[in-house]
Chain A
């Protein structure tokens, strides 16, 4: 047994930390958020230059062949810095799905993702389906696509969209250009300063070679992609939880009331200890989940569910406590701490909330 990060993994973390500290402080992030763009394309280019956009792809497709552990490291650090760039949408959800597929044109697409020249979104969700992503009302008949997808992460900025639909009663994955006739995209801001879109397809003509996978293969690709994305946002939450207690400790040490730092008060100390303990427990479940995903074990879904269920509860509570202990400053938009709470709400809502995953874990 060895539950320690390898030297390379430690170096990767340091590299990302260094980037976030020097190029992505909260002030810079706020400037990006308040700009008219949904993210900073220069930052995205830097991601490409660092090789991060190539991390999870197999070497035969031009990737670095990194696994779930490295992705988790990246997302933990992204969580701490509250990075808004659409890594989850393009690289994790869409990129890894393509990488694992037998789609004939995938190498070209992955190459463009790695170089930072292409964004692809995965349109997996529909209204009122309650996290049941295999249940779709979008249809593909005689190569004509009809339906509406909701909550398409980064959908407003993507060059292509991978769409789940039903063809001959079987789940099917197709990829189409966003600017195809009949595709309309309505983009919205998310609570954590990212963007998602509602995309409708009205009699959209699909080429024969646009089909990525059908039936069982499509189901497996979707399940794996969503599971990996769930692991990634959970790692992001673990990063947020660590930042929440660290920043709260720092703040309470500097904030004086009644003639002393408020960190002297035992009631606050215990709250912060609880935040620390929950952060460590979440990290432990992250270790289990990322290792199960990395070894592609049968239990990988179960352990990702355990993690997601836990961080949905304890992550939100930690962020709420962090806000409370910052007092009025906690609810002020100009402080970073309140944004962790928004991130935790968003993460809990994505890919099944705490209750949903607890049920999934038990089944």
Chain B
């Protein structure tokens, strides 16, 4: 056993750091994220394109599809360093979610059509999974696709669709058959967001931010060649996709960065209660990191860590939430003031610590993390069923 990274891993880490610190990570994006300012659509595009130019957009892709072919350890290092540098989270919908489905279950035309644009971030993807009546019970989804000649006609609605207002494409789970059990009869469709009949309506969240949307489909015509794989196999593809989402979900690097910043803030407050809570979180974060490394190590030695990775989702999101909670506590009575997610303009900023507004923003925004991607309750069901076997 050896808990240290190899020389090669360290060299790899340094290469990542060099890119982040020496001009690779676009300066205008870095400036905003360092200050906790919400970045624009163009900032997102600039950031992802810079990554594409470096050849790292396919960070979790095999080489045969133009990816980096990195090992699980390298991928871990990459995620951690980006988190530590305070980078915006990488938009997963294209590169990590739909792309593996396309190269695994799509045909050659689909691979050629979609994958290069994802690698260069020429297309912005969003995810059409949840529906108003189908959250944790995703398989009960009702959005209907009926085949008429060479088109599917899609009717229904999706909800909590992250950044759909910016998206060029949406990958959707749709119901093509009602006759059997609910998991059968689901198909996986790629839909151009510019197709007539699609309407995107914002959902404003409690932090005042517009990040998620409702997407309505009324007689939307989708060419049959946009079906991935076989009709009725969509649920299998969806589950495959979720398995690809796991690594990085613990957000260890990002949490470390937040915790380190918080330590500095609290060191000037003379607040032993808060000091103690921070130390407790440090220990928990260390436990989380090593747990992720153990799962990684098992994976690299040919193991198949499955449901155990739900630990990362549960504890990673709790960690993010708990850190944000301590920021709010550090803000003390200034936590009552909240200008909204974009902060105060500099000429009317009141007294109080700079981090107060961002702390509240993060605290409120991060409530979603224990709800989305399979709520933490669902993750516990998964562990109890597949790990404990009860």
Contact = CB atoms under 8 A, between A and B. Distances in A.
Contact of B371 (A330, A339, A359): A330
B139 to A, nearest CB: 9
Nearest to B377: A267
B276 to A, nearest CB: 10
Binding site of A, secondary structure by majority: helix, strand, loop or mixed?
Answer: mixed
A330 B160 CA distance: 12
B310 to A, nearest CB: 15
B329 A353 contact: yes
A257 interface: yes
A323 interface: yes
Given A127-B352, A150-B350, A341-B364, A331 B206 contact: yes
Interface string A127-164: 11011000000000000000010110000000000000
A189 B331 CA distance: 16
Contacts of A324: 367, 370-371, 375-376
A198 interface: yes
Given A198-B350, A328-B160, A151 B332 contact: no
A257 B370 contact: no
B208 A346 contact: no
Contacts of A188: 337, 339, 344, 350
Interface string A244-277: 0000000000001111001001011000000000
B69 interface: no
A331 B333 contact: no
B301 to A, nearest CB: 34
Nearest to A149: B351
Given A127-B351, A189-B338, A191-B360, A328 B204 contact: no
Nearest to A359: B273
A151 B335 contact: no
Given A150-B350, A198-B350, A324-B370, A331 B205 contact: yes
Interface stretch (B129-137, B166-174, B227-235, B239-247): B129-137
Contacts of B371: 324, 327-328, 330-331
A283 B212 CA distance: 37
Interface in B335-376: 335-340, 344, 348, 350-352, 360, 363-364, 367-368, 370-372, 375-376
Given A127-B351, A333-B208, A190 B336 contact: yes
Contacts of A191: 335-338, 360
Interface in B260-319: 271, 273-274
Contacts of B351: 127-128, 148, 150, 198
A334 interface: yes
B316 to A, nearest CB: 16
A334 B204 contact: yes
Interface string A328-344: 10111110001101100
B336 A151 contact: yes
A96 B254 CA distance: 48
A235 B338 CA distance: 23
B114 interface: no
A211 interface: no
21 contacts: A127-B351, A127-B352, A130-B332, A151-B333, A188-B337, A188-B344, A189-B337, A190-B337, A191-B338, A258-B136, A267-B377, A323-B206, A324-B376, A331-B368, A338-B205, A345-B363, A346-B335, A349-B333, A349-B335, A349-B336, A350-B336
Interface of B: 130, 133-137, 140, 159-160, 203-206, 208, 212, 271, 273-274, 328-329, 331-340, 344, 348, 350-352, 360, 363-364, 367-368, 370-372, 375-377, 380
3 closest Cβ contacts across the A-B interface? A191-B338, A338-B206, A349-B335
